[in-house]
């Protein structure tokens, strides 16, 4: 026990000794720190004094440099001023010399201008005298030309009147042939309409007969269409014949004659072979063919009796078929007689006319193709995206703006194309009109293209 207490006391003494040693060490360190700080402050004060002295000296040096530079600049300015003064004096001398040179040049130029003006006035007077002489000669020549022009104008007027009269005669004959072709087409269209009326009121057997008649009429109509150009060519052949082969066949001054039905025949003088009379007989025969079929007031047709034939009355279908056959045959006969009357010269003209017709047909075919392609380009604008057909009673959806046929759109539903909600629809009457016109025009152009191609 005593040993433990002694050890504890010894330990306590050791701790006290250690604490005193540490305290003394700390005091020594604090004193050393204080001394170092005092030395540092003294050193800093010395350095500050040195820097202040240096700044003072540099300020004095800068002031001296500024004074030196100002003095150098003043000396340089004085030198430049002296140089500028000498240059200015030299410039004044140069200006005086230039003024003297300009005055001398102005005097020389004024003298030259006076001399040139006097020479020009002399030349102008001489030219005016010559111009007066030329003007008098030109007036005399103009009077002579005016007299010649008056005579030439009279001759030209007479020639133009003769050409107009010949042209009027040729136009009259051509219009006569055109009227004949139009009358034939009108008759064929009337026959077709009557056959349609008959077709509605007949049975199956009569319908087959009417169909056969319709085909025959269609063939006759095609023949008449093909013969239109031939009839026009015949009129032109007769006129050209009268102008080109007058020594051989003679030329009539009467132009064309008019008959009771409003149709005329060419007034060509006939040669020894009687071609003109034969052509006139052919025209009369063609008019008889036109009158062969007539129509009653009840819009039913009747067939005139042919005075050259005897026999039992024919059925309606047989009479119509026979009448159409006679019309076609008489057209063929008319073309043969016209070629015979025209002779070799007219055959050459017909060859040239056929070439022109071929070129015109080719141009017409190209124009029809272009129009058809242009019309087909509009197809997307008038096509319903639901049925892929042309719009029928189209309606436009609001607010999306898509358009469909009235039957394709289900009211109260969504838009078939974009699936948007449709608040209401608007009837596109204008688009319906455009679509119907597009369909009609495209069908017509395609039919015309097939007709031209055939």
With b for 16 or more beta-carbon neighbours within 10 A and e for fewer, the 381-412 pattern comes to: ebbbeeeeebbeebbbbeebebbbbbebbeee
| Position 11 in a domain | no
Same domain, 281 and 329: yes
281 class by beta-carbon count within 10 Å (0-12 exposed, 13-18 middle, 19+ buried): middle
Same domain, 272 and 395: no
Tally the domains of the chain: 2
pLDDT for position 243: 47
Domain boundary among 375, 403, 432: 375
pLDDT for position 318: 58
Domain range for residue 394? 379-453
| Position 82 in a domain | no
pLDDT for position 382: 83
pLDDT digit of tens for each residue in the chain (454 aa)?
667 776 777 777 777 777 777 777 777 778 778 888 888 888 888 888 888 888 888 877 787 788 778 878 878 888 888 888 888 888 888 888 888 888 787 788 788 878 877 877 787 777 777 767 777 776 776 676 666 666 656 665 665 566 566 656 656 655 665 666 566 566 666 656 655 655 454 445 445 555 655 565 566 556 555 555 555 555 555 545 444 444 443 433 334 443 433 334 444 444 434 545 555 555 555 555 444 444 333 333 344 444 444 445 455 555 555 655 565 565 555 555 555 554 544 444 555 545 555 666 677 778 878 878 877 777 878 888 888 888 888 888 888 888 888 888 776 677 877 888 888 888 888 888 888 888 878 888 788 777 767 6
Q: What is the largest CA-CA distance in the chain?
A: 190
| Position 90 in a domain | no
The CA–CA distances, whole Å, from 353 to 233, 236, 361 equal: 7, 9, 12
Same domain, 174 and 299: yes
Rounded distance between C-alpha atoms, residue 236 and residue 244, angstroms = 12
Cis ω for the linkage preceding 399 (within 30 of 0): yes
What pTM did the predictor assign? 0.24
pLDDT for position 118: 82
Q: Which two tokens stand for residue 268?
A: 């060509």
Domain boundary among 375, 397, 415: 375
pLDDT for position 131: 67
Same domain, 211 and 331: yes
Rounded distance between C-alpha atoms, residue 159 and residue 153, angstroms = 10
Same domain, 327 and 360: yes
- Nearest to 295, CA basis, from 384, 192, 380: 192
pLDDT for position 254: 39
Same domain, 260 and 246: yes
Same domain, 367 and 315: yes
């Amino acid at each position: 026990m005593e040993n433990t207490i002694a050890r504890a006391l010894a330990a306590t003494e050791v701790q006290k000794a250690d604490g005193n040693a540490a305290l003394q060490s700390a005091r020594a360190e604090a004193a050393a720190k204080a001394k170092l700080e005092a030395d540092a402050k003294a050193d800093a004060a010395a350095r500050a004094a040195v820097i202040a002295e240096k700044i003072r000296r540099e300020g004095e040096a800068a002031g001296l440099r500024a004074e030196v530079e100002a003095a150098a600049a003043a000396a340089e300015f004085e030198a430049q001023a002296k140089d500028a003064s000498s240059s200015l004096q030299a410039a004044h001398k140069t200006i005086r010399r230039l003024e003297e040179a300009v005055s001398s040049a102005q005097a020389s130029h004024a003298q030259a201008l006076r001399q040139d003006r006097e020479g020009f006035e002399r030349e102008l007077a001489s030219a005016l005298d010559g111009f007066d002489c030329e003007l008098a000669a030109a007036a005399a020549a103009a009077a002579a030309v005016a007299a010649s022009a008056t005579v030439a104008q009279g001759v030209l007027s007479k020639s133009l009147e003769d050409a107009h009269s010949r042209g009027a005669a040729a136009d009259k004959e051509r219009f006569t042939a055109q009227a004949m072709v139009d009358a034939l087409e009108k008759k064929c269209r009337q026959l077709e309409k009557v056959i349609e009326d008959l077709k509605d009121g007949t049975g199956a057997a009569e319908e087959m007969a009417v169909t056969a008649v319709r085909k025959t009429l269609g063939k006759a109509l095609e023949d008449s269409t093909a013969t239109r150009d031939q009839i026009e060519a015949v009129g032109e052949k007769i006129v050209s014949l009268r102008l080109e082969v007058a020594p051989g066949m003679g030329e009539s001054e009467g132009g064309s004659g008019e008959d009771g039905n409003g149709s005329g025949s060419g007034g060509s003088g006939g040669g020894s072979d009687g071609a003109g009379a034969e052509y006139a007989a052919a025209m009369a025969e063609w008019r008889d063919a036109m009158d062969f079929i007539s129509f009653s007031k009840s819009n039913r047709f009747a067939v005139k009796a042919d005075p050259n034939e005897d026999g039992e009355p024919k059925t309606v279908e047989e009479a119509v078929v026979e009448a159409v056959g006679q019309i076609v045959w008489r057209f063929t006969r008319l073309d043969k007689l016209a070629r015979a009357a025209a002779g070799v010269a007219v055959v050459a003209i017909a060859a040239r006319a056929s070439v022109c017709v071929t070129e015109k047909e080719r141009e017409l075919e190209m124009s029809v193709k272009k129009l058809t392609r242009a019309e087909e380009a509009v197809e997307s604008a008038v096509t319903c995206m639901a049925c892929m057909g042309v719009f029928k009673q189209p309606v436009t959806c609001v607010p999306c703006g898509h358009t469909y046929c009235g039957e394709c759109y289900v009211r109260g539903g969504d838009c078939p194309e974009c699936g948007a909600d449709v608040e209401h629809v608007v009837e596109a009457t204008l688009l319906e009109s455009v679509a119907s016109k597009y369909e009609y025009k495209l069908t017509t152009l395609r039919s015309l293209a097939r007709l031209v191609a055939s």
